[in-house]
Amino acid sequence: MTATSIEATLFNIQRFSTEDGPGIRTTVFFKACPMRCPWCHNPESIRPEPEVVWHAGRCLGDRGCVDVCPEGALRAEPSGIAIDRSRCRGCGTCVDFCPSAALEIHGHRMGVDDLVETLLKDAAFYAKSGGGVTLSGGEPLLQPKAATAVLRALRERGVHTALDTCGVATENTLKAALQWTDLVLIDIKTVDPERHRAFTGVAFDRVRDAARTMDESGVEVWVRTPIIPGYTADEESVRRVARFVAETFRHCTRHDLLAFSNLCTAKYAQLDRPFALADTPLLDANDMERLCRVARDAGSPHARWSGPTRVADPES
């Protein structure tokens, strides 16, 4: 199998990424995710198909896009351009047409060779900062051939590789990817089987099995736990996650508690989807400090937290 024939569906390639692993990185966002977390901050990552969105602030009101759509999926309404998502095939004709970039498409296909070439542009910055490339999403392992080919090609060129995964993958897929992975970022949201299934739509067993496979492979692991009010932002939940981390990972060097963020509200609206947590207030910094201590006390010594909080910095 050559990399040449493989394509990936991505929704973004983020250069100078500083939050997805060590150093300066490029993060590749793979489109499609097996989980359905209600707090997801990248709603455009969830579905496999390309999705068109409309930015009201940029629209000239020309409405030429309505005419060029080969599927008749666009309508000009008093409130703006409405997208009939049952008709839109994501062909991008309207996006090409729109002069002001008011129409944007999330999701494009790219050959692995081209992708790798793009990722290598910042090789000097990776090397000088101890950075590299992070595959994220969505879930990169839903596109296992592409993800593995990218990891391999980068690793063979001496680039540090990180895989940001929700842990939903078959053992073989995971093992194949881990072979070329220097660092795994894995989400452990909750370890309660019922809650896990209720929140994400996926059984925790699958995540647990993946976690064990990772640990056996010896790869360095960073665990990430979203702290979501009404879902995971309680001491018991965090304590159990921390215990699980302590019991499962011998090579975990960092455990990030990520405070709930509502910055994605506008994105949901653009995708014509409800955001269940739109009215949920941000957490308090003191709560995050407390949960962080809980995690450390429960056996996850590398626990730390970040993210937006309700309370401003102490000095402001």
> Would you say 19 or 156 has its CB closer to another protein?
19
- By CB under 8 A, tell whether 15 contacts another protein: yes
Letters for 195-224 (x = contact with another protein by CB under 8 A, - = none) are -----------------------------x
Q: How far is CA 246 from the centre of its chain?
A: 24
Q: Which is nearer to another protein, 149 or 190 (CB)?
A: 190
Q: Interface with another protein includes 131 (CB under 8 A)?
A: yes
Stretch that binds another protein, among 72-80, 199-207, 231-239, 253-261 (CB under 8 A): 253-261
Amino acid letter, 95: V
Q: How far is the CB of 308 from another protein (least distance, A)?
A: 6
In the complex, minimum distance from the CB of residue 86 to another protein, in angstroms, rounded to a whole number: 26
Position among 262, 276, 296, 299 found at the interface with another protein (CB under 8 A) = 262
- Per-residue tokens: 89: 């095939």
Contacts of 250 (CB under 8 A, 6+ apart): 215
Q: What is the dihedral of CA 151, 12, 283, 167, to 10 degrees?
A: -30
In Å, how far are 74, 104, 105, 251 from 97, measured between CA atoms? 13, 11, 12, 50
Q: How far apart are CA 1 and CA 111, in angstroms?
A: 14
CA distance 81 to 64: 11
Q: Does 73 bind another protein (CB under 8 A)?
A: no
What x-and-dash track marks residues 83-112 binding another protein by CB under 8 A? ---------------xxxx-----------
Q: Based on CB atoms, which residue is closest to another protein, 149 or 275?
A: 275
DSSP 160-187: EEEEEE-S-S-HHHHHHHHTT-SEEEEE
Strand 183-187, strand 160-165: pairing:
parallel
Does 17 contact another protein by CB under 8 A? yes
Shortest distance, position 228 Cβ to another protein, whole Å: 13
Q: Binding to another protein by residue 237, rule CB under 8 A?
A: no
Sheet holding 220-227, edge to edge: 108-111, 7-17, 25-30, 132-137, 160-165, 183-187, 220-227, 252-259, 303-306
The site for another protein (CB under 8 A) is made up of 12, 14-20, 23-24, 41-42, 55, 57, 60, 62, 98-101, 121-122, 124-125, 127-131, 136, 164, 224, 256, 258, 261-267, 269, 285, 288-289, 292, 304-309, 312-316
